[in-house]
Chains A and B, each alone.
Chain A
Amino acid sequence: MSGGAQDQRPVVTGLGVVAPNGVGVKEFWAATLDGRSGIDWIRRFDASGYPVRIGGEVLDFVPKEHIPSRLLPQTDRMTQHALTAAGWALQDAGADPATLDEYEMGVVTASSAGGFEFGQRELQKLWGQGAEFVSAYQSFAWFYAVNTGQISIRHGMRGHSSVLVTEQAGGLDAVAHGRRLLRRGAVRFMVTGGFDASLCPWGLVAQIPHTHLSRRDDPERGYLPFDADACGYVAGEGGAILILEDRHAARRRGAGQEYGEVAGYAATFDPPPGSVRGPALARAIRGALDDAGMNPGEIDVVFADASGVPELDAVEAAAIAEVFGPRSVPVTAPKTMTGRLYSGGAALDAATALLAMRDGVIPATTGTTNVASGYDIDLVIGQARETPVRAALVVARGCGGFNSALVLRHTD
């Protein structure tokens, strides 16, 4: 394959978003800048009997408007979101897969729970009615690889593909693996990102025992990362797809735009709970900056993981302050308007960061009003902040100790 690894500069040329506060990039970005939240009382099913009753549901998405009728009965909501976002991202990139080399296009997605609502329906048939009632589609609608598989089929992408499961870190790990494959010349065109949609009764019940989930019965105050009143996170659904291509190849085919370059990445894993060794988050951030060949001072905004769990917020605030200096860089977490989307969350943050770079505006961390004392970070609260954004750092942590950091940079 021509084009050495060294001169490959992976750039993002297209975005597709399905989020609780906006279906489509335009709607999502407008809502995000306006501070409109998608977190509300759960409506899809009767959650009144559960100790968690709020979530970030995607309610404005009508599957049959976006998905061929043949695929509807064989796909979970998370796959319908992913397929739709992938189609939009390709359109946004002005790319027609039929005109590109089939083996030079790959798909790398992240998933945390697979098609979980689909799984609930089939489990109910199995246990309630009997094995012969289980759908033939169960064999592939639930597993973690379904979105990569379905996207590759729909667009004839036959190159190197993969699937990562690292909870909330997965969205960044997928983009970074796409970049890795581009840089080593395995592919020239990558569909990357992540999606999850586990807001069904079985999915919610599987999350409820998790101590990080907020139990506050108030959509306005349920998820307040870095606030003195933080009480955990709210779960949401959705995610984002990013089209990643080698910059030269993108220019040759006349790509409409370059949102930015995926300039640096690093991942680390925390020592076991109770270890004397500290968390490894700051090392991931430094590693991503080193990989990009950049100094902390060149970063204009940090999109935080923003767990909402006080102990984890403290770790993140300390890591950011340690690397950048106290209150030296704007930090934001617009995921307060969507909830944490698991594998979709960090992919959506990366997309949001690229939009911030495009428009020179940092969206606010809504909800949070009173940053806890001791957090030495400049959290963007209240309203969006207009300022040139040349480079952004996105931080994501997967439950259990996964830390990832991604640097996005302007290409001109």
Chain B
Amino acid sequence: MSRKAVITGLGVRAPGGVGTKAFWDLISSGRTATRIISSFDPSQFRSRIAAEIDFDAELEGFTAEQVDRLDRVVLLALASAKDALADSGLTVADLVPERTAVSMGSAVGCTIGLDTEYARVSENGQHWLVKHELAVDHLFEYLVPTPLAAEVAWAVGAEGPAAVISTGCTSGLDAVGYGADLIREGSADVMLAGASDAPISPITVACFDAIRATSPDNDRAETASRPFDRTRNGFVLGEGAAVFVLEELEHARRRGAHIYAEIAGFAARSNAYHMTGLRPDGREMAEAIRSAMDQARVVGEDIDYINAHGSGTKQNDLHETTAFKRSLGDLAYRIPVSSIKSMIGHSLGAIGSIELAACALAMEHGVVPPTANLHEKDPACDLDYVPLTAREQRTDTVLSVGSGFGGFQSAVVLARPARDER
């Protein structure tokens, strides 16, 4: 019998409240967590908005040493990983180290640490020959963001394969897909898989300003993220993490674990077109969707909900709408599609995992989260985007997609595992 990978635990740190319950409360209510940036003075930037987490590392139980040494991206991941393990009902003592593995996604790693420390060693950009005597001891851990996987592995005692997957804004889907691969091929029985990004830093804000990718609606920050709306004008930067306990299906069943969903299909394609641009025809994303559905052995009629990438840029939302039609035909008009980036912004590599958490919770609660701030659909975006208000409906099979700089297009299908398939 072929091995299957299922989600048996999840942990989330997203803007708008600490933990999974606060996350679900926010995204099922249609409230938004976007606001004027508070972690530094954003006055020189075109876009001054972000979805920030009010993250209190001390309250989360991190030591002063950890807070000093570890970048925020690692702390968010660790907090989520601990929640995920607790949620799964497993303890560290239950895990067989050699059979436990880690795959963590991140688009930009320790950006805050690098930005801050660069300013220090260059004395605010004064020197090309930056000053080594001003460097902090743990600077190397920012240079190469492997602590994201290493710290999670140490926290749970994992000694199987560990990796950071970094495919830009599809990292969060790709890291979970990678984890599911390792379970299916037999390299691990339990995976801590997910993603984290903490990109809200001057350099990130500046580079998205430079290509006008982010929304400049500084006077109405709470409604700045408007995917699929006629008036949308860019995405809103976010931060966060989501980590899952993935488990081999029989391993989970033997211990009577609660199963949220099976990672039933995962596929990735590249548009091979442009590092930041998308062709309006959506063909590579459509191809990823078809391939993920084939793997999951589901057809369009089975899909109850699509969690869109829905970043709120002009080109993304069109690209994606076309991709859904291309892959699902007329069914695309009947399947509810929504973007939670309307509420929690776009946390780059992390968002794919956070969106998968939203999908698992939608299946759990029988509720599809809405697209907030969608008052007037773009005429070219003519699907059912679940505007403003969550919708109660039985949700058994979900498609989640992502699209990223570099041309990456990924699709994941979550489904309820079949009962007695032997």
Question: At the interface, yes or no: A111 with Cβ under 8 Å from chain B?
Answer: yes
Considering the complex, give the chain B residue whose CB is closest to the CB of A150: B275
Q: Are A156 and B181 in contact (CB-based, < 8 A)?
A: no
Question: At the interface, yes or no: B95 with Cβ under 8 Å from chain A?
Answer: no
Looking at A10-18, A203-211, A305-313, the stretch in contact with chain B turns out to be A203-211
Fill in one digit per residue for B262-287: 1 if any A CB lies within 8 Å of its CB, else 0: 00000111111111100000001001
Contact of B408 among A130, A145, A210, A268 (CB under 8 A): A145
- A residues less than 8 Å from B388 (CB atoms): none
Given A143-B107, A145-B408, check contact A267 B213 (CB 8 Å).
no
Question: At the interface, yes or no: A165 with Cβ under 8 Å from chain B?
Answer: yes
Interface size counted on chain A using CB atoms at 8 A? 87
Q: Cα distance A122–B205 when bound, in Å?
A: 12
Shortest A270–chain B CB gap in Å is: 7
Interface size counted on chain B using CB atoms at 8 A? 86
Considering the complex, give the chain A residue whose CB is closest to the CB of B168: A145
Q: Cα distance A113–B209 when bound, in Å?
A: 23
Q: Are B159 and A134 in contact (CB-based, < 8 A)?
A: no
Q: Cα distance A357–B166 when bound, in Å?
A: 32
Shortest B5–chain A CB gap in Å is: 14
- B residues less than 8 Å from A50 (CB atoms): 132
Shortest A287–chain B CB gap in Å is: 9
Docked complex: A97-130 residues within 8 A CB-CB of B: 102-103, 106-107, 111-113, 116, 119-120, 122-130
Q: Cα distance A112–B145 when bound, in Å?
A: 8
Shortest A128–chain B CB gap in Å is: 3
Question: At the interface, yes or no: B300 with Cβ under 8 Å from chain A?
Answer: no
Question: At the interface, yes or no: A330 with Cβ under 8 Å from chain B?
Answer: no
Q: Cα distance A272–B404 when bound, in Å?
A: 34
Docked complex: A134-171 residues within 8 A CB-CB of B: 134-136, 138-140, 143-146, 148-150, 152-153, 155-167
Q: Which of B119, B132, B268 has the most C-beta atoms of chain A within 10 angstroms of its own C-beta?
A: B132
Considering the complex, give the chain B residue whose CB is closest to the CB of A103: B287
Q: Which of A116, A159, A163, A267 has the most C-beta atoms of chain B within 10 angstroms of its own C-beta?
A: A163
Q: Are A162 and B165 in contact (CB-based, < 8 A)?
A: yes
Looking at A24-32, A236-244, A398-406, the stretch in contact with chain B turns out to be A398-406
Question: At the interface, yes or no: B17 with Cβ under 8 Å from chain A?
Answer: no
- A residues less than 8 Å from B143 (CB atoms): 112-113, 116, 198, 203, 206-207
Contact of B98 among A128, A143, A144, A268 (CB under 8 A): A268
Question: At the interface, yes or no: A359 with Cβ under 8 Å from chain B?
Answer: no
Q: Are B109 and A165 in contact (CB-based, < 8 A)?
A: yes
Question: At the interface, yes or no: B59 with Cβ under 8 Å from chain A?
Answer: no
Question: At the interface, yes or no: A256 with Cβ under 8 Å from chain B?
Answer: no
Q: Are B276 and A131 in contact (CB-based, < 8 A)?
A: no
Contact of B140 among A120, A122, A145, A209 (CB under 8 A): A209
Given A112-B144, A128-B125, check contact A209 B135 (CB 8 Å).
yes
Question: At the interface, yes or no: B402 with Cβ under 8 Å from chain A?
Answer: no
Considering the complex, give the chain A residue whose CB is closest to the CB of B148: A165
- B residues less than 8 Å from A204 (CB atoms): 132
Q: Are B207 and A134 in contact (CB-based, < 8 A)?
A: yes
Question: At the interface, yes or no: A227 with Cβ under 8 Å from chain B?
Answer: no
B residues with CB within 8 A of A: 44-46, 97-98, 101-102, 106-109, 114-115, 117-119, 121-122, 124-126, 128-132, 135-140, 142-147, 149-150, 153-154, 157-168, 174, 178, 181, 185, 187, 202-203, 205-211, 213, 267-276, 284, 287, 404-408
Q: List 10 A-B contacts (CB under 8 A).
A: A45-B128, A123-B203, A162-B165, A184-B185, A206-B114, A208-B135, A271-B97, A342-B144, A399-B140, A401-B150
Contacts A162-B167, A165-B109 given; 6 further ones with Cβ under 8 A? A112-B146, A152-B407, A209-B137, A210-B139, A399-B144, A402-B163
